[in-house]
Amino acid sequence: MMQNFEIFTKNEIIQARRQLKNWFISNQRPLPWRNSPHPYSTWLCEIIMQQTRIDQGTRYWHSFLDQWPDFKSLAAAESEEIMKAWQGLGYYSRARNLHKAAKIVANDWGNELPKTAQEWQQLPGVGPYTAAAIASICYGDPVAAVDGNALRVISRWGGIQEPIDKPAGRKPIEQLAQDFLEPADSGMHNQAIMELGALVCTPKAPDCENCPLEGNCKSRVAASGQTPLVPIKAGKTKVLKVAVTFHVIVHRNQVLMTERPSPGIWGGLWEFPSRWIETKSEDSPKNQTPPLTCQTDLRDMGQVGEAFSHILSHRKLEVRFHLWQSKNKFTEENHNWFSWEECENLPIPRAIDKKWGELENSITLLRFS
């Protein structure tokens, strides 16, 4: 196995561990999950914080702990309750896997929790990084937790210029991260690396002057405001432009909704019948009709408000809402009629929630017109 002592000597690594630890003790943020870390709250934190800002994620973390303080209570919750509580965080497969994992721990494992990162990866939604974070922080398992922050810190520190999104770059970074790990206090070390990436070794204009690793960092910039070339990525995923029209179909005091299939975008959430059309220009398809299989008498009430943009991971949505009045309460496969009050208790995508108040006003006016 390649040894990263080709990059740093053993003494340099030992000294860097000490400098990192001292920096972390003095500079770490007072995040609530760092106080007496417990496997359940740490696992919950790691799942929620994926692709999520700290301030936003902290609110959700507290909310989940208040409603479901342990694996058993979370496992007993209804799926729709969890999806509703997750609403606004995005990447909804995380919420579905959260529920599945809680059921495995509570029902299959009898709340007997694993102690190693390898064992934690048996749970849905727990990959190598999440497993290493939980096992190192809660049980001292000496495994490096390599998230986006760690990739950036380690690749810059070692001057590894192979693309981090390819095995040729990822493997030496993971090897150096493991060699750098402080085996006697792996949990603190992993948190220190992540904190360094969040506060100092930032994606743009890192604060090299105040970095505990600046003495032998291979990517240190000479002047404030500069950004190192490392880390390097081979290429970015193309962002697709998609025109989305939600068709809000109202019959008296009820509206038609459908649940999106579990795999895919917004899986398990409820929406109005919609059409998704990939576009190659700024002009979106107009005069769309609702995607219904049955023939029904609908009155076109026009578009609700202005179109707006909504960004997903690899899609830029141009979102519109179109209002329709139905004379009949017709039957459509995989669709249900709900009162507006019932709809408010359903888990819905953020793109719909943005327009909820305006839609409510439009439907109220329609009802009394």
List, by residue number, the catalytic residues.
46
Q: What is the CA radius of gyration of the chain?
A: 25
32 backbone dihedrals φ, ψ, rounded to 5°: -65, -30
**Nearest residue to 88 via CA among 347, 308, 357:** 347
> What does each C-alpha distance from 19 to 3, 26, 256, 257 come to in angstroms?
22, 11, 60, 57
> What does each C-alpha distance from 103 to 91, 110, 158, 273 come to in angstroms?
20, 10, 41, 32
CA distance 194 to 106: 30
**Nearest residue to 28 via CA among 246, 161, 197, 237:** 197
Query: Which residue intervals of the chain are DSSP H helices?
Result: 10-27, 39-48, 54-67, 71-76, 79-86, 93-103, 117-120, 128-139, 148-158, 167-180, 186-199, 340-343, 350-353, 356-367
> What does each C-alpha distance from 252 to 43, 259, 329 come to in angstroms?
45, 21, 9
Does a cis peptide bond (omega within 30 degrees of 0) precede residue 231? yes
